[in-house]
């Protein structure tokens, strides 16, 4: 069964994230608020109980929620989790924690690929813990791309979008050093990002999405005075996108284009590098931000914050961004069904 053609009653699968970060806590807080309706957690039951869940109930399938007793947090049995996760110290990088987070992601992906779940919502992982646990990917985006690729196939081009109710930003480059990001930027990378952003925006409700492209350099290069990337490949990529029927515009000065989008002039902004694009969204409020991976054959969203090791285990974690991620996941999964 194709996950894009599932019935509307399929549940979300939430991954617990790093077991010593705030992921388990925000999941428990969301459950206590009654916000985990038609959702199940891929994780370790003992970890979720340590995070505050009074009772958990293991299920073999995401669709078995009707069998879960009232007041119990529904948990998917994830094979291959390391032992002793609930005994690990809060807020410390640990190889077994990173490996456990990866196992949960893998299990959630199988659920959506097999048509057993509507979408994935991932709690935060710690990149150093993933690396310590032998995971060969720097973050969720790259790992999900690999898991979406069948043996012998070319990985689907994916992009990271951070969004809230005021601003949606799609990135050309993500988790690489800034120097490396500059090396990765070219005509094909920008045009591919525009194509992915356009297709995704149509999938979640914009018939003719208006896409602004932020320049790389101050004042978008000022006609080549401050850098020529805009002239050499960013503007040509925008023109190529226009020739393919997309409403793409720019490149615009990056210090003003996000403000213009927030005021309603554009539906999305494409930014060249990670911090260039994410700082404006996060400034508007981490609690409202959602990370969406575009280009995957299934829906994946995530809170717009990290593992917050400094407050893990203290009962202070706010589930607002997780709740927003769940809202977006349901919305996007519903849109895919309509067009799928």
What is the rounded distance in angstroms from the CA atom of residue 212 to the CA atom of residue 192? 14
List, in order, residues 6 or more apart from 44 with CB less than 8 Å away. 16, 19, 78, 81, 85, 86, 100
**CB distance 159 to 272 below 8 Å:** no
Tell whether 94 and 76 lie within a shared domain: yes
pLDDT, tens digit, 9 for 90 and up, residues 24-54: 999 999 999 999 989 999 999 999 999 999 8
Sign of the dihedral through C-alpha 130, 135, 139, 140: negative
Tell whether 128 and 208 lie within a shared domain: no
pLDDT for 204: 78
Tell whether 8 and 150 lie within a shared domain: yes
CATH number of 89's domain? 3.40.718.10
Joined together, the tokens standing for residue 313 give 């285990």
Residue at a domain's end among 265, 284, 303: 284
Vertex 106, ends 17 and 190: CA angle to 5°? Answer: 85
Q: DSSP secondary structure string, 18-48?
A: STTSSHHHHHHHHHHTT--TTEEEEE-HHHH
Tell whether 151 and 2 lie within a shared domain: yes
Vertex 262, ends 260 and 265: CA angle to 5°? Answer: 50
Residue at a domain's end among 244, 263, 284: 284
Q: How far is CA 126 from CA 91, 96, 170, 230, in A?
A: 10, 12, 22, 34
Tell whether 117 and 215 lie within a shared domain: no
pLDDT, tens digit, 9 for 90 and up, residues 318-336: 999 999 999 999 988 887 6
Residue segments in the chain with a per-residue pLDDT below the cut of 50: 1-7, 338-340
Phi, psi (deg, nearest 5) at residue 191: -65, -40
**CB distance 171 to 142 below 8 Å:** no
DSSP state of 121: E
Tell whether 206 and 254 lie within a shared domain: yes
Tell whether 25 and 152 lie within a shared domain: yes
DSSP state of 119: E
Residue at a domain's end among 284, 302, 323: 284
pLDDT for 330: 92
CA 158, distance to chain mean position in Å, is: 11
Phi, psi (deg, nearest 5) at residue 186: -160, 180
Tell whether 196 and 315 lie within a shared domain: no
DSSP state of 319: -
Tell whether 110 and 182 lie within a shared domain: no
Tell whether 199 and 128 lie within a shared domain: no
pLDDT for 5: 40
Joined together, the tokens standing for residue 54 give 């009074």
What is the rounded distance in angstroms from the CA atom of residue 79 to the CA atom of residue 97? 15
- Global pTM value: 0.87
pLDDT for 7: 42
Element holding 266 (H helix, E strand): none
**CB distance 251 to 215 below 8 Å:** yes
In which domain, by residue range, is 133 found? 1-157+293-340
Joined together, the tokens standing for residue 284 give 């508007």
What is the rounded distance in angstroms from the CA atom of residue 189 to the CA atom of residue 68? 46
Report how many domains make up the chain.
2
């Amino acid at each position: 069964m194709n996950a894009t053609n599932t019935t509307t009653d399929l549940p979300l699968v939430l991954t617990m994230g790093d077991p010593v970060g705030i992921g388990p806590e925000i999941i428990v807080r969301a459950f206590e608020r009654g916000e985990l309706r038609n959702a199940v957690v891929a994780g370790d039951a003992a970890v979720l109980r340590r995070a505050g869940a009074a009772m958990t109930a293991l299920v073999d399938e995401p669709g078995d929620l009707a069998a879960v007793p009232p007041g119990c947090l529904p948990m998917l049995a994830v094979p291959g989790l390391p032992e002793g996760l609930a005994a690990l110290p809060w807020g410390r990088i640990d190889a077994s924690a990173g490996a456990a987070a990866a196992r949960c992601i893998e299990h959630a992906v199988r659920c959506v690929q097999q048509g057993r779940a509507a979408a994935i919502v991932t709690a935060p992982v710690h990149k150093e813990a993933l690396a310590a646990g032998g995971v060969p990917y720097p973050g969720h985006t790259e790992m999900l791309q690999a898991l979406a690729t069948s043996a012998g196939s070319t990985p689907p081009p994916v992009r990271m979008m951070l969004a809230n109710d005021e601003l949606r930003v799609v990135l050309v480059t993500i988790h690489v050093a800034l120097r490396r990001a500059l090396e990765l930027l070219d005509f094909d990378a920008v045009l591919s990002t525009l194509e992915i952003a356009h297709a995704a925006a149509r999938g979640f409700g914009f018939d003719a999405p208006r896409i602004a492209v932020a320049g790389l350099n101050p004042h978008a290069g000022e006609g080549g005075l401050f850098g020529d990337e805009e002239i050499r490949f960013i503007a040509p990529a925008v023109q190529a996108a226009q020739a393919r029927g997309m409403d793409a515009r720019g490149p615009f000065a990056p210090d003003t284009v996000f403000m213009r989008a927030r005021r309603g002039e554009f539906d999305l902004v494409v930014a060249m590098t990670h911090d260039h694009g994410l700082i404006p969204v996060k400034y508007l409020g981490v609690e409202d931000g959602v990370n969406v991976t575009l280009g995957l054959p299934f829906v994946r969203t995530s809170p717009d914050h990290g593992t917050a090791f400094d407050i893990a285990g203290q009962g202070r974690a706010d589930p607002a961004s997780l709740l927003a991620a769940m809202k977006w996941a349901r919305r996007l999964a519903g849109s895919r069904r309509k067009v799928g």
